[in-house]
Amino acid sequence: MSELVELTAVQLLDGYRKGEFSPVDATRAALRRAVEIQPAVNAFVRIDADAALARAARSADRWRRGEPAGLLDGVPVSVKDILLLRGGPTLRGSKTVDPQGSWDEDAPSVARLREHGAVFLGRTTTPEFGWKGVTDSPLSGITRNPYDVTRTAGGSSGGSAAAVALGAGPLALGTDGGGSVRIPAAFCGIFGLKPTYGRVPLYPASAFGTLSHVGPMTRDAADAALMMDVISGPDARDWSALGPLDGSFVEALGGGVRGLRVAYSPSLGGQVAVQPAVAAAVRRAVERLAGLGAYVTEADPDLTDPVEAFHVLWFGGAARVAQRLGPRQRESLDPGLREICARGARFSALDYLAAVDVRMELGRRMGRFHESYDVLVTPTLPLTAFAAGVEVPPGSGHRRWTGWTPFTYPFNMTQQPAASVPVGTDGDGLPVGLQIVAARHRDDLVLRTAHALYETGAAGVAPPPGF
């Protein structure tokens, strides 16, 4: 039943309900695909077939009795190897993490998925401690793009994006501290949402502090809304988590975009050079929003690139990660990570507080901006996927990954919900992502706008060739 790998979570659940196929069928198909794609793209750190099939069998029994355990009972899902998943080590892409131990605790988002009957296929790849916008690490090597294996899948949730794009489960969990869900979603042609900070609880706390979000990576916005209804549940281990969800993200999808005030910023006021093919694909999708009744205005948020302040926060977090490591362990780190750790260790508390000031001002400006506009639309990235195995595009002149991600990391600083939606391909057949941003706590607007694009055929790309 290889066609099962092409179905969304919503479609799988409908099939279970009708008795057309079972969670065991879907899990076997997803596991087969995961094994098939692994040599070419390296999406997984570990595939746990026995545990997945055992959970699928229990789910199939519940469906036969007409008693599904929850909203995602029997749906295959993969988990980025940053988030705790009990029963096996969480190595975080690093040789410095000891795999021995009890590993008997789930991260909050994983725990909610478990409660709702999801089937865990395995752990997906990440750069070391999720530090950069591409996915390669000393532990697991290079993760490659499903559309062209010479290119990067993006990062840091690159394994999750590649797995979803290639049918190794319709759902995946990723983390996003500066674009790490949205970047690989854009490069791999899938949907990825960075929710409002705190909407999806996180434990253990990230060393990168309140920049880091947990979010769904899926085939479309409907699957992401369903997943958000599950993983948004409160968890006492996260002191910064938001209160219980009021209503349902799935129920909010159907509102459409008629009358929605959309600000379209093609280049953040000329600050970003965008590849023509990317700009054209995003513009076509924005025109579709206007055709659906949205009030579209070309308008730029009042943003001066906050990259230096972001670097203080990000590099300082990296230094905190490495603080516990001995000299020999530090030598085993990704050289780029070792470099930013050294730089981060030189920042003072006053440097950090000055960066917080920049962040707060950025948040104030975006708060005022959203008094006039419901959503902001930009390209997710100014380019499509570049060569695998490097941090920055060859010949770009960029020093760090933040040089080519100017549309993503500002909205980690402001903690706003932001999603990447696939809206076409470039001349090489590589996916292009459109970013939708809303005010804090308006994740529903991001999902609703994205869903409208999917409903009208303006979102989604053809599956990768050859898989």
Active site residue ranges: 80, 156, 180
**Residue 431 to residues 6, 333, 423, Cα–Cα distance (Å):** 18, 31, 8
Cβ count near 290 (within 10 Å): 14
- List, as one string, the DSSP characters of 35-79: HHHHHHH--EEEE-HHHHHHHHHHHHHHHHHT---STTTT-EEEE
**Helix 9-18 and helix 23-41, axial crossing angle in degrees, nearest 10:** 150
Residue with tokens 């023509």: 276
- For residue 270 the two structure tokens come to 């000329």
Residue 146, preceding peptide bond in cis (omega within 30° of 0): no
Give the span between the Cα atoms of 84 and 90, in whole angstroms.
6
Give the span between the Cα atoms of 57 and 344, in whole angstroms.
48
Give the span between the Cα atoms of 199 and 256, in whole angstroms.
23
Give the span between the Cα atoms of 397 and 404, in whole angstroms.
10
Give the span between the Cα atoms of 185 and 327, in whole angstroms.
36
**Helix 307-322 and helix 349-372, axial crossing angle in degrees, nearest 10:** 130
